[in-house]
Protein backbone atom coordinates (compact mmCIF):
# COMPACT_ATOMS: atom_id res chain seq x y z
CA UNK A 1 0.00 0.00 0.00
CA UNK A 2 1.14 3.52 -0.77
CA UNK A 3 1.41 5.64 2.34
CA UNK A 4 -1.35 8.23 2.73
CA UNK A 5 -0.43 11.52 1.21
CA UNK A 6 1.74 10.12 -1.51
CA UNK A 7 0.14 12.78 -3.69
CA UNK A 8 1.83 15.58 -1.75
CA UNK A 9 5.18 13.80 -1.50
CA UNK A 10 5.38 13.01 -5.19
CA UNK A 11 4.30 16.49 -6.20
CA UNK A 12 6.87 18.07 -3.88
CA UNK A 13 9.63 15.98 -5.46
CA UNK A 14 8.42 16.62 -9.00
CA UNK A 15 8.22 20.35 -8.43
CA UNK A 16 11.99 20.50 -7.97
CA UNK A 17 12.45 19.47 -11.57
CA UNK A 18 9.33 20.43 -13.50
CA UNK A 19 8.82 23.67 -15.37
CA UNK A 20 5.79 25.64 -14.26
CA UNK A 21 5.20 26.52 -17.94
CA UNK A 22 4.21 22.90 -18.51
CA UNK A 23 1.21 22.59 -16.19
CA UNK A 24 -1.94 24.57 -15.58
CA UNK A 25 -2.51 24.00 -11.87
CA UNK A 26 -5.75 22.59 -10.52
CA UNK A 27 -5.70 19.87 -7.85
CA UNK A 28 -2.81 18.33 -5.95
CA UNK A 29 -3.23 14.81 -7.20
CA UNK A 30 -1.01 12.33 -8.97
CA UNK A 31 -3.04 10.07 -11.20
CA UNK A 32 -2.22 6.43 -10.84
CA UNK A 33 -4.78 4.57 -12.89
CA UNK A 34 -8.01 4.88 -14.78
CA UNK A 35 -10.83 2.73 -16.05
CA UNK A 36 -13.62 4.01 -18.23
CA UNK A 37 -14.73 7.32 -16.74
CA UNK A 38 -13.03 6.74 -13.38
CA UNK A 39 -9.55 7.74 -12.32
CA UNK A 40 -7.68 6.94 -9.12
CA UNK A 41 -4.87 8.90 -7.52
CA UNK A 42 -1.81 7.44 -5.80
CA UNK A 43 -3.56 7.61 -2.43
CA UNK A 44 -6.41 5.50 -3.74
CA UNK A 45 -8.97 8.29 -4.05
CA UNK A 46 -11.36 7.68 -6.93
CA UNK A 47 -12.88 10.41 -9.08
CA UNK A 48 -15.40 10.60 -11.88
CA UNK A 49 -13.45 12.15 -14.72
CA UNK A 50 -15.44 15.00 -16.26
CA UNK A 51 -12.43 16.16 -18.28
CA UNK A 52 -11.44 13.00 -20.18
CA UNK A 53 -7.83 14.12 -20.07
CA UNK A 54 -8.72 17.28 -21.97
CA UNK A 55 -10.97 15.41 -24.40
CA UNK A 56 -8.16 13.02 -25.32
CA UNK A 57 -9.75 9.84 -23.98
CA UNK A 58 -13.18 9.80 -25.61
CA UNK A 59 -13.11 5.98 -25.43
CA UNK A 60 -12.44 6.13 -21.68
CA UNK A 61 -9.38 5.15 -19.72
CA UNK A 62 -7.72 1.82 -20.42
CA UNK A 63 -10.38 0.61 -22.82
CA UNK A 64 -9.69 -3.16 -23.07
CA UNK A 65 -9.72 -3.10 -26.90
CA UNK A 66 -7.25 -0.25 -27.02
CA UNK A 67 -5.05 -1.77 -24.31
CA UNK A 68 -4.92 -5.09 -26.16
CA UNK A 69 -4.09 -3.42 -29.47
CA UNK A 70 -1.24 -1.52 -27.81
CA UNK A 71 0.11 -4.60 -26.04
CA UNK A 72 -0.08 -6.82 -29.11
CA UNK A 73 1.59 -4.23 -31.31
CA UNK A 74 4.28 -3.42 -28.74
CA UNK A 75 5.25 -7.09 -28.65
CA UNK A 76 5.60 -7.10 -32.46
CA UNK A 77 7.16 -3.76 -33.31
CA UNK A 78 7.25 -0.63 -31.20
CA UNK A 79 8.80 1.69 -33.70
CA UNK A 80 10.19 2.02 -37.12
CA UNK A 81 9.99 5.50 -38.41
CA UNK A 82 7.18 6.06 -40.90
CA UNK A 83 9.37 8.83 -42.28
CA UNK A 84 11.25 6.07 -44.14
CA UNK A 85 9.13 2.90 -44.22
CA UNK A 86 5.44 2.14 -43.90
CA UNK A 87 4.14 0.05 -41.04
CA UNK A 88 1.03 -2.05 -41.36
CA UNK A 89 -0.95 -0.26 -38.63
CA UNK A 90 -0.39 3.27 -39.92
CA UNK A 91 -0.89 2.13 -43.52
CA UNK A 92 -4.29 0.72 -42.57
CA UNK A 93 -5.20 3.82 -40.57
CA UNK A 94 -4.48 6.39 -43.30
CA UNK A 95 -7.25 5.38 -45.75
CA UNK A 96 -9.60 4.77 -42.83
CA UNK A 97 -9.17 8.27 -41.48
CA UNK A 98 -9.30 9.76 -44.98
CA UNK A 99 -12.64 8.01 -45.57
CA UNK A 100 -14.04 9.35 -42.30
CA UNK A 101 -13.08 12.94 -43.07
CA UNK A 102 -15.99 15.28 -43.85
CA UNK A 103 -14.37 16.21 -47.15
CA UNK A 104 -15.66 15.06 -50.52
CA UNK A 105 -13.31 13.88 -53.24
CA UNK A 106 -9.89 12.31 -52.71
CA UNK A 107 -8.41 12.95 -49.28
CA UNK A 108 -4.94 12.37 -47.87
CA UNK A 109 -3.50 12.46 -44.38
CA UNK A 110 -0.11 13.17 -42.84
CA UNK A 111 0.85 12.09 -39.32
CA UNK A 112 2.05 14.19 -36.43
CA UNK A 113 2.68 13.74 -32.72
CA UNK A 114 0.38 16.43 -31.37
CA UNK A 115 -2.54 18.63 -32.25
CA UNK A 116 -0.09 21.51 -32.26
CA UNK A 117 2.07 20.14 -35.07
CA UNK A 118 -1.04 19.16 -37.07
CA UNK A 119 -2.06 22.82 -37.01
CA UNK A 120 1.46 23.85 -38.03
CA UNK A 121 1.06 21.43 -40.92
CA UNK A 122 -2.16 23.17 -41.95
CA UNK A 123 -0.20 26.42 -42.20
CA UNK A 124 2.54 24.74 -44.26
CA UNK A 125 0.21 23.02 -46.71
CA UNK A 126 -2.07 26.03 -47.07
CA UNK A 127 0.86 28.31 -47.89
CA UNK A 128 2.37 25.80 -50.30
CA UNK A 129 -0.85 25.06 -52.15
CA UNK A 130 -2.03 28.64 -52.52
CA UNK A 131 1.34 30.34 -52.85
CA UNK A 132 -0.04 32.90 -50.39
CA UNK A 133 1.40 33.73 -47.02
CA UNK A 134 -1.31 35.01 -44.66
CA UNK A 135 -3.31 32.93 -42.22
CA UNK A 136 -6.41 34.27 -40.48
CA UNK A 137 -7.43 32.84 -37.11
CA UNK A 138 -9.64 33.88 -34.21
CA UNK A 139 -9.31 35.31 -30.75
CA UNK A 140 -10.29 32.76 -28.11
CA UNK A 141 -8.82 29.95 -30.21
CA UNK A 142 -6.44 27.36 -28.84
CA UNK A 143 -4.49 25.65 -31.59
CA UNK A 144 -1.46 24.46 -29.66
CA UNK A 145 1.92 25.20 -28.23
CA UNK A 146 4.39 25.04 -31.12
CA UNK A 147 5.29 28.39 -32.67
CA UNK A 148 2.87 28.19 -35.59
CA UNK A 149 -0.10 26.89 -33.64
CA UNK A 150 0.64 29.20 -30.74
CA UNK A 151 0.74 32.19 -33.06
CA UNK A 152 -2.67 31.24 -34.41
CA UNK A 153 -4.04 30.93 -30.86
CA UNK A 154 -5.54 33.74 -28.83
CA UNK A 155 -6.68 32.52 -25.47
CA UNK A 156 -4.09 33.64 -22.93
CA UNK A 157 -1.27 36.18 -22.87
CA UNK A 158 1.03 33.55 -21.37
CA UNK A 159 1.11 31.90 -24.78
CA UNK A 160 2.79 34.85 -26.43
CA UNK A 161 4.32 36.88 -23.63
CA UNK A 162 8.15 37.01 -23.69
CA UNK A 163 8.39 34.62 -26.65
CA UNK A 164 8.16 36.87 -29.66
CA UNK A 165 8.63 37.34 -32.46
CA UNK A 166 5.90 34.87 -33.29
CA UNK A 167 5.22 33.46 -36.76
CA UNK A 168 4.81 36.28 -39.26
CA UNK A 169 1.74 36.48 -41.46
CA UNK A 170 -0.91 35.44 -38.95
CA UNK A 171 -3.83 37.85 -38.50
CA UNK A 172 -6.42 37.44 -35.75
CA UNK A 173 -10.04 38.49 -35.91
CA UNK A 174 -12.56 38.51 -33.04
CA UNK A 175 -14.48 35.29 -32.47
CA UNK A 176 -18.20 35.86 -31.89
CA UNK A 177 -18.42 34.76 -28.25
CA UNK A 178 -21.87 35.03 -26.63
CA UNK A 179 -20.64 37.43 -23.95
CA UNK A 180 -19.66 39.91 -26.67
CA UNK A 181 -23.29 40.30 -27.64
CA UNK A 182 -24.64 43.71 -26.66
CA UNK A 183 -27.75 44.13 -24.57
CA UNK A 184 -30.88 44.04 -26.75
CA UNK A 185 -28.81 43.09 -29.82
CA UNK A 186 -30.54 40.45 -31.95
CA UNK A 187 -28.63 37.39 -33.14
CA UNK A 188 -28.70 38.79 -36.68
CA UNK A 189 -27.34 42.17 -35.60
CA UNK A 190 -24.65 40.43 -33.55
CA UNK A 191 -23.58 38.30 -36.51
CA UNK A 192 -23.52 41.33 -38.81
CA UNK A 193 -21.47 43.38 -36.36
CA UNK A 194 -18.91 40.61 -35.80
CA UNK A 195 -18.70 39.84 -39.49
CA UNK A 196 -17.99 43.52 -40.11
CA UNK A 197 -15.13 43.19 -37.61
CA UNK A 198 -13.94 40.09 -39.49
CA UNK A 199 -13.94 42.10 -42.72
CA UNK A 200 -12.10 45.10 -41.31
CA UNK A 201 -8.57 43.77 -41.92
CA UNK A 202 -9.56 42.74 -45.46
CA UNK A 203 -10.80 46.25 -46.15
CA UNK A 204 -7.82 48.08 -44.69
CA UNK A 205 -4.54 46.18 -44.91
CA UNK A 206 -4.98 42.49 -45.69
CA UNK A 207 -5.41 41.70 -49.40
CA UNK A 208 -7.75 38.71 -49.60
CA UNK A 209 -5.80 37.37 -52.58
CA UNK A 210 -2.75 37.01 -50.32
CA UNK A 211 -4.56 34.96 -47.68
CA UNK A 212 -3.85 31.22 -47.74
CA UNK A 213 -6.30 29.95 -45.14
CA UNK A 214 -8.84 30.81 -42.52
CA UNK A 215 -8.31 28.49 -39.54
CA UNK A 216 -11.22 28.03 -37.14
CA UNK A 217 -12.43 25.74 -34.39
CA UNK A 218 -16.08 25.30 -35.49
CA UNK A 219 -16.86 24.88 -31.80
CA UNK A 220 -14.20 26.60 -29.72
CA UNK A 221 -12.92 24.28 -27.00
CA UNK A 222 -10.60 26.09 -24.63
CA UNK A 223 -12.31 29.34 -25.61
CA UNK A 224 -15.30 28.15 -23.57
CA UNK A 225 -17.09 25.42 -25.61
CA UNK A 226 -18.72 27.92 -27.94
CA UNK A 227 -20.38 27.07 -31.20
CA UNK A 228 -19.71 29.59 -33.94
CA UNK A 229 -23.07 31.22 -34.75
CA UNK A 230 -24.15 29.34 -37.91
CA UNK A 231 -25.01 32.51 -39.85
CA UNK A 232 -21.56 33.93 -39.07
CA UNK A 233 -19.89 30.67 -40.11
CA UNK A 234 -21.82 30.78 -43.37
CA UNK A 235 -20.59 34.31 -44.13
CA UNK A 236 -16.97 33.50 -43.33
CA UNK A 237 -17.14 30.32 -45.38
CA UNK A 238 -18.67 32.11 -48.35
CA UNK A 239 -16.03 34.83 -48.16
CA UNK A 240 -13.28 32.19 -48.14
CA UNK A 241 -14.73 30.40 -51.16
CA UNK A 242 -15.20 33.63 -53.11
CA UNK A 243 -11.58 34.59 -52.56
CA UNK A 244 -9.75 31.30 -53.10
CA UNK A 245 -8.92 31.11 -49.39
CA UNK A 246 -8.68 27.60 -47.94
CA UNK A 247 -11.16 26.84 -45.18
CA UNK A 248 -9.27 24.97 -42.46
CA UNK A 249 -10.75 23.59 -39.27
CA UNK A 250 -9.26 22.39 -36.01
CA UNK A 251 -10.98 19.21 -34.83
CA UNK A 252 -8.36 18.34 -32.22
CA UNK A 253 -10.58 19.03 -29.22
CA UNK A 254 -14.07 18.68 -30.69
CA UNK A 255 -13.63 15.85 -33.17
CA UNK A 256 -14.14 12.09 -32.90
CA UNK A 257 -17.65 12.04 -31.49
CA UNK A 258 -17.22 14.71 -28.84
CA UNK A 259 -20.07 16.90 -30.16
CA UNK A 260 -22.49 14.08 -30.97
CA UNK A 261 -21.21 14.01 -34.56
CA UNK A 262 -17.99 12.50 -35.87
CA UNK A 263 -16.66 16.00 -36.53
CA UNK A 264 -17.75 19.31 -35.07
CA UNK A 265 -18.03 20.83 -38.55
CA UNK A 266 -20.94 18.44 -39.16
CA UNK A 267 -22.94 20.71 -36.86
CA UNK A 268 -22.84 23.17 -39.80
CA UNK A 269 -24.62 21.55 -42.74
CA UNK A 270 -23.25 22.51 -46.14
CA UNK A 271 -19.83 23.58 -44.90
CA UNK A 272 -16.90 21.48 -45.99
CA UNK A 273 -13.30 22.08 -44.98
CA UNK A 274 -10.31 21.91 -47.30
CA UNK A 275 -7.97 20.97 -44.46
CA UNK A 276 -8.38 19.82 -40.89
CA UNK A 277 -6.32 18.84 -37.88
CA UNK A 278 -7.10 15.84 -35.68
CA UNK A 279 -5.38 14.64 -32.51
CA UNK A 280 -6.09 14.02 -28.82
CA UNK A 281 -8.62 11.13 -28.84
CA UNK A 282 -7.50 9.82 -32.24
CA UNK A 283 -5.34 7.19 -30.53
CA UNK A 284 -7.18 7.37 -27.19
CA UNK A 285 -4.52 9.73 -25.91
CA UNK A 286 -1.43 8.06 -27.36
CA UNK A 287 0.58 10.76 -29.15
CA UNK A 288 -0.81 10.74 -32.66
CA UNK A 289 -2.23 13.57 -34.71
CA UNK A 290 -3.06 14.07 -38.34
CA UNK A 291 -3.38 16.81 -40.87
CA UNK A 292 -6.13 15.77 -43.24
CA UNK A 293 -7.00 17.51 -46.47
CA UNK A 294 -7.97 17.48 -50.08
CA UNK A 295 -5.47 15.38 -52.01
CA UNK A 296 -4.26 18.18 -54.28
CA UNK A 297 -3.46 20.33 -51.24
CA UNK A 298 -1.72 17.46 -49.47
CA UNK A 299 0.38 16.89 -52.61
CA UNK A 300 1.58 20.49 -52.74
CA UNK A 301 4.63 19.73 -50.61
CA UNK A 302 7.31 17.17 -51.29
CA UNK A 303 9.18 14.64 -49.14
CA UNK A 304 10.47 15.73 -45.76
CA UNK A 305 8.25 18.81 -45.61
CA UNK A 306 6.10 17.16 -42.95
CA UNK A 307 7.87 14.19 -41.39
CA UNK A 308 8.52 13.39 -37.73
CA UNK A 309 10.48 10.39 -36.48
CA UNK A 310 7.75 9.02 -34.25
CA UNK A 311 4.59 10.27 -36.00
CA UNK A 312 2.51 7.32 -37.17
CA UNK A 313 4.43 5.06 -34.84
CA UNK A 314 3.04 1.49 -35.05
CA UNK A 315 1.86 1.37 -31.43
CA UNK A 316 0.05 4.69 -31.61
CA UNK A 317 -1.45 3.71 -34.97
CA UNK A 318 -2.64 0.39 -33.51
CA UNK A 319 -4.24 2.34 -30.68
CA UNK A 320 -5.94 4.57 -33.25
CA UNK A 321 -7.26 1.64 -35.28
CA UNK A 322 -8.68 0.16 -32.08
CA UNK A 323 -10.08 3.55 -31.06
CA UNK A 324 -11.98 3.89 -34.34
CA UNK A 325 -13.29 0.31 -33.88
CA UNK A 326 -14.55 1.21 -30.41
CA UNK A 327 -16.18 4.46 -31.54
CA UNK A 328 -17.94 2.61 -34.35
CA UNK A 329 -18.91 -0.59 -32.55
CA UNK A 330 -19.97 1.03 -29.28
CA UNK A 331 -21.83 3.79 -31.16
CA UNK A 332 -20.01 6.46 -29.18
CA UNK A 333 -21.03 9.25 -31.54
CA UNK A 334 -24.71 8.49 -30.92
CA UNK A 335 -23.99 7.96 -27.23
CA UNK A 336 -22.41 11.39 -27.03
CA UNK A 337 -25.54 12.92 -28.57
CA UNK A 338 -27.89 10.97 -26.29
CA UNK A 339 -26.05 11.55 -23.01
CA UNK A 340 -25.33 15.11 -24.12
CA UNK A 341 -29.08 15.73 -24.23
CA UNK A 342 -29.34 14.50 -20.64
CA UNK A 343 -26.51 16.81 -19.63
CA UNK A 344 -28.14 19.71 -21.44
CA UNK A 345 -31.43 19.08 -19.61
CA UNK A 346 -29.63 18.81 -16.28
CA UNK A 347 -27.67 22.04 -16.65
CA UNK A 348 -30.69 23.93 -17.94
CA UNK A 349 -32.66 22.83 -14.88
CA UNK A 350 -29.81 24.01 -12.68
CA UNK A 351 -29.71 27.30 -14.56
CA UNK A 352 -33.39 27.82 -13.75
CA UNK A 353 -32.62 27.17 -10.06
CA UNK A 354 -29.43 29.17 -9.60
CA UNK A 355 -28.99 32.75 -10.73
CA UNK A 356 -25.19 32.45 -10.85
CA UNK A 357 -25.41 30.18 -13.90
CA UNK A 358 -25.26 32.62 -16.78
CA UNK A 359 -25.28 30.46 -19.86
CA UNK A 360 -25.08 26.74 -20.54
CA UNK A 361 -23.80 25.42 -23.84
CA UNK A 362 -23.91 21.72 -24.57
CA UNK A 363 -23.04 20.05 -27.90
CA UNK A 364 -22.91 16.31 -27.37
CA UNK A 365 -21.33 15.26 -24.11
CA UNK A 366 -19.42 18.48 -24.21
CA UNK A 367 -20.30 21.70 -22.51
CA UNK A 368 -19.37 25.04 -21.06
CA UNK A 369 -21.28 26.42 -18.09
CA UNK A 370 -20.66 30.12 -17.48
CA UNK A 371 -20.66 31.17 -13.83
CA UNK A 372 -21.51 34.83 -13.34
CA UNK A 373 -22.11 37.39 -10.66
CA UNK A 374 -25.93 37.63 -10.68
CA UNK A 375 -25.78 41.35 -9.89
CA UNK A 376 -23.62 42.30 -12.85
CA UNK A 377 -23.92 39.35 -15.21
CA UNK A 378 -20.10 39.38 -15.48
CA UNK A 379 -17.99 36.23 -15.14
CA UNK A 380 -17.30 35.26 -11.53
CA UNK A 381 -13.90 33.60 -11.26
CA UNK A 382 -14.03 33.22 -7.47
CA UNK A 383 -17.38 31.44 -7.54
CA UNK A 384 -16.14 29.18 -10.34
CA UNK A 385 -13.02 28.30 -8.37
CA UNK A 386 -15.10 27.50 -5.28
CA UNK A 387 -17.41 25.31 -7.34
CA UNK A 388 -14.79 23.32 -9.18
CA UNK A 389 -12.81 22.78 -5.99
CA UNK A 390 -15.90 21.57 -4.13
CA UNK A 391 -16.80 19.26 -7.00
CA UNK A 392 -13.28 17.86 -6.76
CA UNK A 393 -13.65 17.33 -2.98
CA UNK A 394 -16.90 15.50 -3.62
CA UNK A 395 -15.25 13.13 -6.05
CA UNK A 396 -15.38 14.46 -9.61
CA UNK A 397 -12.73 16.14 -11.73
CA UNK A 398 -13.90 19.27 -13.46
CA UNK A 399 -11.80 22.27 -14.47
CA UNK A 400 -12.44 25.78 -15.73
CA UNK A 401 -12.01 27.63 -18.99
CA UNK A 402 -11.32 31.36 -19.15
CA UNK A 403 -11.60 31.52 -15.35
CA UNK A 404 -15.38 31.44 -15.11
CA UNK A 405 -16.57 28.54 -17.28
CA UNK A 406 -16.96 24.99 -16.01
CA UNK A 407 -15.66 22.56 -18.62
CA UNK A 408 -17.77 19.44 -18.95
CA UNK A 409 -16.20 16.78 -21.18
CA UNK A 410 -16.46 13.28 -19.71
CA UNK A 411 -15.31 10.22 -21.63
CA UNK A 412 -18.06 9.17 -24.02
CA UNK A 413 -18.20 5.75 -22.34
CA UNK A 414 -19.29 7.20 -18.99
CA UNK A 415 -22.11 5.04 -17.62
CA UNK A 416 -25.53 6.51 -16.94
CA UNK A 417 -25.05 5.75 -13.23
CA UNK A 418 -21.73 7.61 -13.18
CA UNK A 419 -23.30 10.51 -15.02
CA UNK A 420 -26.18 10.65 -12.52
CA UNK A 421 -23.66 10.61 -9.67
CA UNK A 422 -21.72 13.45 -11.31
CA UNK A 423 -24.92 15.48 -11.64
CA UNK A 424 -25.70 14.90 -7.94
CA UNK A 425 -22.22 16.10 -6.99
CA UNK A 426 -22.49 19.18 -9.18
CA UNK A 427 -25.97 19.97 -7.83
CA UNK A 428 -24.68 19.69 -4.28
CA UNK A 429 -21.83 22.10 -5.03
CA UNK A 430 -24.24 24.55 -6.69
CA UNK A 431 -26.61 24.43 -3.72
CA UNK A 432 -23.74 24.95 -1.27
CA UNK A 433 -22.54 27.96 -3.26
CA UNK A 434 -26.07 29.39 -3.23
CA UNK A 435 -26.20 28.91 0.55
CA UNK A 436 -22.91 30.77 0.95
CA UNK A 437 -21.23 27.67 2.34
CA UNK A 438 -18.26 27.45 -0.02
CA UNK A 439 -14.84 28.94 0.67
CA UNK A 440 -11.94 29.46 -1.70
CA UNK A 441 -9.15 26.90 -1.51
CA UNK A 442 -5.93 28.25 0.03
CA UNK A 443 -4.06 28.35 -3.26
CA UNK A 444 -6.97 29.78 -5.26
CA UNK A 445 -4.73 32.39 -6.87
CA UNK A 446 -2.61 29.70 -8.52
CA UNK A 447 -5.44 27.67 -10.00
CA UNK A 448 -6.65 27.59 -13.54
CA UNK A 449 -5.93 29.26 -16.84
C1 LIG B 1 -8.60 22.83 -30.46
C2 LIG B 1 -7.22 22.39 -30.11
N3 LIG B 1 -6.28 22.40 -31.07
C4 LIG B 1 -5.03 22.01 -30.82
C5 LIG B 1 -4.65 21.62 -29.55
C6 LIG B 1 -3.23 21.25 -29.30
O7 LIG B 1 -3.10 19.87 -29.19
P8 LIG B 1 -1.83 19.26 -28.46
O9 LIG B 1 -1.90 19.69 -27.03
O10 LIG B 1 -1.98 17.78 -28.67
O11 LIG B 1 -0.63 19.78 -29.15
C12 LIG B 1 -5.59 21.60 -28.53
C13 LIG B 1 -5.20 21.20 -27.17
O14 LIG B 1 -5.86 21.45 -26.20
C15 LIG B 1 -6.92 22.01 -28.80
O16 LIG B 1 -7.85 22.03 -27.86
Q: 151 near 167, Cβ under 8 Å? A: yes
Domain boundaries, the chain: 6-59+331-446, 66-329
- As a whole number of Å, the CA-based R_g of the chain is 22
Structural class in CATH, domain 66-329 = alpha beta
Residue 87: pLDDT over 90: yes
pLDDT of residue 202: 98
Report how far residue 265's alpha carbon sits from residue 102's, in angstroms, rounded to the nearest whole number: 8
Ligand 1 geometric centre to CA of 428 (Å): 32
pLDDT of residue 227: 98
Query: HSE of 7 in the Cβ direction (CA atoms, 13 Å)?
Result: 15
Residue-by-residue DSSP string for 178-198: GGGSPTT--HHHHHHHHHHHH
The domain defined by 6-59+331-446 carries CATH number 3.90.1150.10: yes
Ligand 1 geometric centre to CA of 332 (Å): 21
Report how far residue 202's alpha carbon sits from residue 206's, in angstroms, rounded to the nearest whole number: 5
- Residue nearest ligand 1's atom 15 by CA: 253
Ligand 1 geometric centre to CA of 221 (Å): 9
Report how far residue 10's alpha carbon sits from residue 14's, in angstroms, rounded to the nearest whole number: 6
Length of the chain equals: 449
Mean pLDDT of the chain: 97
Inter-CA distances, 337 with 282, 302, 372, 386, 402, Å: 19, 40, 27, 29, 25
**Ligand 1 atom with least separation from CA of 146:** 11
Ligand 1 geometric centre to CA of 214 (Å): 17
- Residue nearest ligand 1's atom 8 by CA: 115
pLDDT by residue (tens digit) across 56-81? 999 999 999 999 999 999 999 999 99
> Which protein residues are within 6 Å of ligand 1, measured from CB?
54, 114-116, 119, 142-145, 217, 221-222, 250, 252-253, 279-280
From the number of C-beta atoms within 10 Å of its C-beta (0-12, 13-18, 19+), residue 386 rates as buried
Please give the average per-residue pLDDT across 118-130, as a whole number: 98
Beta strand 38-41 pairing with 367-371: unpaired
pLDDT by residue (tens digit) across 163-197? 999 999 999 999 999 999 999 999 999 999 999 99
Residue 445: pLDDT over 90: no
Mutate to test the pocket of ligand 1, among 116, 282, 401 (most ligand atoms within 8 A of CB): 116
pLDDT of residue 4: 63
Mutate to test the pocket of ligand 1, among 221, 401, 402 (most ligand atoms within 8 A of CB): 221
Q: 411 near 36, Cβ under 8 Å? A: yes
Ligand 1 geometric centre to CA of 143 (Å): 5
Residue 2: pLDDT over 50: no
312: closest CA among 70, 118, 100, 79? Answer: 79
Residue 1: pLDDT over 90: no
CB pairs under 8 A, 24+ apart, for 98-102? 98/292, 100/262, 100/324, 101/263, 101/276, 101/292, 102/262, 102/263, 102/265, 102/266, 102/272, 102/273, 102/276
Beta strand 107-112 pairing with 38-41: unpaired
Amino acid sequence: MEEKNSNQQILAAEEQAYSSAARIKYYDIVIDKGQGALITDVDGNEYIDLLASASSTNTGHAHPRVVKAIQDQAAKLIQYTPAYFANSQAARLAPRLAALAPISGPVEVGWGNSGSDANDAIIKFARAYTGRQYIVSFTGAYHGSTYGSMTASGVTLNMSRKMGPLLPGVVKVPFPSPWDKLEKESEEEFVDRLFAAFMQPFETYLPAEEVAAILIEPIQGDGGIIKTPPAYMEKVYRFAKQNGILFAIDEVNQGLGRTGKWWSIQNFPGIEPDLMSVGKSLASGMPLSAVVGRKEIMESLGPAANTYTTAGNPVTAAAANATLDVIEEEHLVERSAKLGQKAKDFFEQEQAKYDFIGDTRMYGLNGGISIVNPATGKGDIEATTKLMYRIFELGAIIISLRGNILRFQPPLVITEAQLAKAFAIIDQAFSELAAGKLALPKNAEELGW
